[in-house]
Chain A
Amino acid sequence: MTAPAFAGPGHDRTEGDLVAAARSGSMDAFEAIYREHSPKVYALCLRLSGGVQADAVELLQDVFVRAWRGLGSFRGDSAIGSWLHRLAVNAMLERARANSRRLARVLPMEETSDFDAPGLPEDPDMRMDLESAIARLPQGARIAFVLHDIEGYQHQEIAAQLGIATGTVKAQVHRAHKLLIKALDR
């Protein structure tokens, strides 16, 4: 395979140029977009997937396939990075639905345990790092926390994207804060 024609030094085409070229069918331009944006999209995928790398990689692929398919609907009035982030969130939510987890069940306040994954460190000297603690949050709290605290979405934006009440988003973010502080205090 040849190197992407748009990649590397000396290629100072703007993002708009790349999008326009990709939209007209240039796989090289699309690869350049992938190279530029995949680390940020992957970070989001990894956190939304609870730190499970295989799921995050699958989600990343799904996002860029969707992006290629939907380039025509990208209006260009927001950064393509933001658009890719929205695709990642949508893809993750669709996966959750496909797994027969209705959103209402993904995001309830009542969940059986504080953390999804077993194996919290018993040793009080062994402090849990933040990434691990986020990965172990219940799914609803994790999604709300990642989108709000890490990605910087407003409560209302998250609510609209997830199709739930703003109050539920706030409650989930609050819950995530409590659980993370508790985990990091251990």
Chain B
Amino acid sequence: MNEELIDPEKLRALEAKVAGLPRAIHPPDVWNEIREKIERDSITPIGRSTASPAIRFWQKPGFMLAATVLLIASTSVTTMIALRGDSAARDSASVASARPAAMPASFLQFAAKENNYIQTANRLQAIVESEGSTLSPETVAKLKKSIAVIDAAILEAREALAADPANRDLIEILSSSYDKKLDLLRRSAAMGRS
């Protein structure tokens, strides 16, 4: 690293020039493109119901809960592998589940995102609780049980990560668990409204 000192006078002159830079630059008007993309992709803000309340097969409670059980099983196995440090098994698990492109690259990045995960989950949970009356009591009970199991998996991975913050597999597991929890909550909220 080059620690060569900078002439303070020149640095001040640079800072003065920087202070004079415009903070706003009018872009080409791309609103129509943005709107089209949002509409084409049928993107819905989290927490808002979709225009079409029709339930698809993957939104049905049975499918969702089965997927959750699968998630929990795979999360537990992968956590066990990561904690055991079995490199061969870890490699094989990595091949089986591709790392999403947006996965945090480091513990610091993950820590910065974790607060958002928690806030979003809390908000969705509130929606599910307020709108859960439209779901059958059995479904609500199963959802709560599934979420509790995911929370336990999150806690387990979180504790392991606290002891080994450089373990990227744990970061991936934890991040993925949060994603799955949010996904489950979103679908639960959507079911509650439908």
| A interface list, Cβ under 8 A from B | 1, 22-25, 27, 31, 34-35, 38-40, 42-43, 45-46, 53, 56-57, 60-61, 64-65, 68-73, 75, 94, 97-98, 102-103, 109, 130-131, 149-150, 159-164, 171, 174-175, 177-178, 180-181, 184-185
How far apart are A58's CB and chain B's nearest CB, in angstroms?
A: 9
* Contact, CB under 8 Å: B34 / A40: no
Stretch in B70-78, B108-116, B132-140, B146-154 with 4+ CB within 8 Å of A: B108-116
How far apart are B175's CB and chain A's nearest CB, in angstroms?
A: 13
* Contact, CB under 8 Å: A72 / B48: yes
**Bound: A27/B107 CA distance, A:** 36
How far apart are B19's CB and chain A's nearest CB, in angstroms?
A: 9
Name B33-57 residues within 8 Å CB distance of A.
33-35, 37-38, 41, 43-48
A-B CB contact pairs (8 Å), 22 listed: A24-B48, A35-B31, A43-B23, A43-B24, A43-B25, A56-B27, A60-B30, A64-B34, A65-B34, A69-B44, A69-B46, A70-B45, A72-B45, A73-B119, A98-B101, A103-B105, A130-B17, A130-B21, A131-B21, A150-B23, A163-B105, A181-B6
Q: How many A-B residue pairs have CB under 8 A?
A: 130
* Contact, CB under 8 Å: A42 / B45: no
Q: Does B106 contact A (CB under 8 A)?
A: yes
How far apart are B189's CB and chain A's nearest CB, in angstroms?
A: 10
Chain A residue nearest to B51 in the complex (CB): A25
* Contact, CB under 8 Å: A184 / B1: no
Best-surrounded residue of B33, B45, B112 (most CB of chain A within 10 A): B45
* Contact, CB under 8 Å: B43 / A40: no
How far apart are B66's CB and chain A's nearest CB, in angstroms?
A: 27
Q: Does B91 contact A (CB under 8 A)?
A: no
* Contact, CB under 8 Å: A130 / B18: yes
In addition to A42-B27, A130-B21, A180-B14, 8 A-B residue pairs with Cβ atoms within 8 Å of each other are: A31-B31, A65-B41, A69-B45, A71-B47, A73-B46, A150-B21, A164-B108, A181-B6
Chain A residue nearest to B10 in the complex (CB): A181
B: contact size bracket: 35 or more
Q: Within 8 Å CB of B33, what residues of A?
A: 61
Q: Does B4 contact A (CB under 8 A)?
A: yes
**Bound: A150/B21 CA distance, A:** 8
* Contact, CB under 8 Å: B27 / A39: yes
Contact among B4, B18, B101 with A149 in the assembled complex (CB-CB below 8 Å): B18
6 shortest interchain CB distances as A-B pairs: A72-B46, A72-B47, A163-B109, A39-B24, A42-B27, A163-B106
**Bound: A72/B32 CA distance, A:** 22
Q: Within 8 Å CB of A130, what residues of B?
A: 17-18, 21
How far apart are A173's CB and chain B's nearest CB, in angstroms?
A: 11
Q: Within 8 Å CB of B10, what residues of A?
A: 181, 185
Q: Within 8 Å CB of A46, what residues of B?
A: 25
How far apart are A154's CB and chain B's nearest CB, in angstroms?
A: 13
Q: Does B26 contact A (CB under 8 A)?
A: yes
Q: Does B86 contact A (CB under 8 A)?
A: no
Q: Does B2 contact A (CB under 8 A)?
A: yes
* Contact, CB under 8 Å: B11 / A177: yes
Q: Within 8 Å CB of B102, what residues of A?
A: 94
* Contact, CB under 8 Å: A31 / B24: no
Chain B residue nearest to A73 in the complex (CB): B120
Q: Within 8 Å CB of A164, what residues of B?
A: 106, 108
